[in-house]
Amino acid sequence: MDETAPLIRQFKLGLMDNFGYLVADRVARVAAVVDPSFDGRPAQEEAGRLGLRIELVLLTHGHPDHSSDVERLARETGAKVAAHALSRVRKDVTLEDGRVVKLGAVDLEVLHTPGHTADSCCFRVEGALLTGDTLFVGECGRSDLPDSSVEALHDSLLRRLRGLPDELIVYPGHDYGPTPTSTLGHEKRHNYTLQPRTLPEFVRFMREP
């Protein structure tokens, strides 16, 4: 095992098939919890077992099924809460597109990918991409909610994400697909929501039952 490579652990959390994540620098022994959902204690307990100090709680977006346990986790660990500037959650660290968040020697790059919500972000960590509700394995997030934009989702999926390297491992925000993870190349080839479409075609596609 390469001890200098970022540690990424996936956890099934709550009753809505949510995935939360523990991301860490194993050498510096510092960690972040991404999307603690309704109960981030499994990630918190794993950090304790591994001797990691949780410094950050990162949110891909502010929906309650991703953020409900943020305040308890931050209070118990002393971690700072990081979310996009448009997020309504209380935050200590304001994220913007292109910002690189340091976690020891591990870099977490913020990709603002609105559409499912205005504040939706993906986090790129070396060869991994934590996609929240922007992209699932075999699917994408809804665009018919009050804070959604089908036009923004088209740009996020078909320009931002399709433009990233195929070898990135996709870590989604929910366990909605046939596998808990995928690769971006596989999703480009097989995920019907990522197939090239013009904006009018994508709008019609997303409105189909």
Q: Is residue 118 part of a domain?
A: yes
pLDDT of res. 173: 98
Nearest Cα to Cα of residue 174 among 132, 204, 207, 205:
132
- Positions of the chain with pLDDT under 70: 1
Count: domains in the chain: 1
Beta strands in the chain (DSSP E): 7-13, 18-25, 30-34, 53-58, 80-84, 93-95, 100-103, 106-112, 121-125, 128-132, 135-136, 139-140, 169-172, 182-183
**Are residues 58 and 101 in contact, defined by beta-carbon separation less than 8 angstroms?**
yes
Who contacts 89 (Cβ-Cβ below 8 Å, separation ≥6)?
59, 62, 67, 70, 81, 83
Q: Is residue 2 part of a domain?
A: no
Domain that holds residue 195: 7-207
pLDDT of res. 209: 80
Q: Is residue 108 part of a domain?
A: yes
Q: Is residue 1 part of a domain?
A: no
Q: Is residue 134 part of a domain?
A: yes
Looking at residue 198, its amino acid is T
- In CATH, what number is assigned to the domain containing residue 70? 3.60.15.10
The C-alpha atoms of residue 191 and residue 199 are separated, in whole angstroms, by 17
The C-alpha atoms of residue 29 and residue 6 are separated, in whole angstroms, by 11
Nearest Cα to Cα of residue 5 among 132, 129, 128:
128
Two tokens at 49? Answer: 């077992």
**Are residues 100 and 108 in contact, defined by beta-carbon separation less than 8 angstroms?**
yes
DSSP 196: -
pLDDT of res. 126: 95
The C-alpha atoms of residue 115 and residue 147 are separated, in whole angstroms, by 8
80-84 and 93-95 beta bridge pairing = parallel
